[in-house]
Amino acid sequence: MATRTAPVSPALVEVAEAVVRTCRRLWERGLVAGGDGNVSVRVGPDRVLITPAGLSKVDVEVHDLVLVTLAGTVVEGARAPSSEHDLHLQAYRARPDIGAVVHAHPVTATALALSAGTLPVDLLPEITVLLGPVPLVPYATPGTAAVAGAFAPYWGAHDAFLMAHHGALTVGRDLVEAHQRMESLEHAARIVATARALGPLPSLSGDEVAILQEMRAARRTSARGDDGPCSPDLIR
């Protein structure tokens, strides 16, 4: 395994710095604790930059990141890649439109997963448009290939996932979108949990949901834009 102190090109350094900022933002917002969670970005047709195993996200630095192929071979990095790297790589292999993956343990969303619940798409426009249907992926032992296997049926139609007895995962065309979806997932979970404690929840009508679903479909099929797989300037 090659030892490095920074990614090999200026372009990769910029993306790596965006990954580091995202890790700290996840920690600052209480979406991860200790060694929880992992973040990755597609940086080429067969290259993914991912956070290392066992390191608190608030402590991750550019030189800690690991460059791997879609087959899981380490290309650069002094550390081992995240124990969940198989899950990330499967996401990229399953959907060429995915440019970034964020896995975290947001408190309310994870509690929802523990209660075998999910987020209804007929309550908040933000859930329907930004997240879409959020499936509860069956439990598999963390850090094993079984986790990626549990996700296999869900990639095509979903961008945000609750993981039974585990946490949450979001994907996006770039790091900005994947990270924002994680924040939106937790925020929506908090709103729904609070509202349920106050009483019955009124639902949007079927026609209203259909309009929102059309808006979501348009967003998902829109062109990627000029920034490519990551827009690091937006993660500050």
Could you read off the pLDDT of 95-122 as tens digits, one per residue? 999 999 999 999 999 999 999 888 888 9
pLDDT at 21 over 80: yes
pTM for this model (two decimals): 0.89
- The single-letter code of the amino acid at 230 is C
All structural domains of the chain with their residue ranges: 10-234
Tens of pLDDT, residue by residue over 25-57, are 999 999 999 999 999 999 999 999 999 999 999
- What is the rounded average pLDDT of the residues 133-152? 93
Q: Look at residue 142 and tell me whether its pLDDT is greater than 60.
A: yes
As a three-state string, the secondary structure of 10-23 is HHHHHHHHHHHHHH
pLDDT at 160 over 80: yes
> Distance between CA atoms of 24 and 114, rounded to whole angstroms?
25
Q: Is the pLDDT of residue 221 over 50?
A: yes
- What is the pLDDT, as a whole number, of residue 7? 54
Tell me how many degrees the CA angle 174-76-1 measures, rounded to the nearest 5.
Answer: 150
Residue range 44-73: mean pLDDT, rounded: 95
The pLDDT value given to residue 139: 95
- For 209, other C-beta atoms within 10 Å of its C-beta total 17
Tell me which DSSP letter residue 165 carries: T
Count the alpha carbons within 13 Å of 164 in the hemisphere toward its beta carbon: 12
Fold of 10-234: L-fuculose-1-phosphate Aldolase (3.40.225)
Work out the pLDDT band at 6, boundaries 50, 70, 90.
low
H-helix or E-strand containing 161?
A: strand 160-163
Task: Using pLDDT thresholds of 50, 70 and 90, give the confidence band for residue 222.
Answer: confident
The answer to whether residue 61 scores a pLDDT higher than 80 is: yes
Quote the pLDDT of residue 194: 94
Q: What is the mean pLDDT of the chain?
A: 89
Per-residue pLDDT band for 85 (boundaries 50, 70, 90) equals: very high
Which pair of structure tokens corresponds to residue 167?
């946490």
Q: Is 218 helix (H, G, I), strand (E, B) or coil?
A: helix
| Mean pLDDT confidence for 1-21 | 73
Using the predicted structure, report yes or no on whether residue 67 has a pLDDT greater than 60: yes
Region 14-24: what's the mean pLDDT? 96
CA distance 4 to 171: 28
Instruction: Please report the DSSP string for 47-91 in residue order.
Output: EEEEPBTT--GGG--GGG-EEE-TT--EEE-SS-B-TTHHHHHHH
According to the model, what pLDDT value does residue 236 have?
37
How many Å apart are CA 192 and CA 159, to the nearest integer?
Answer: 19
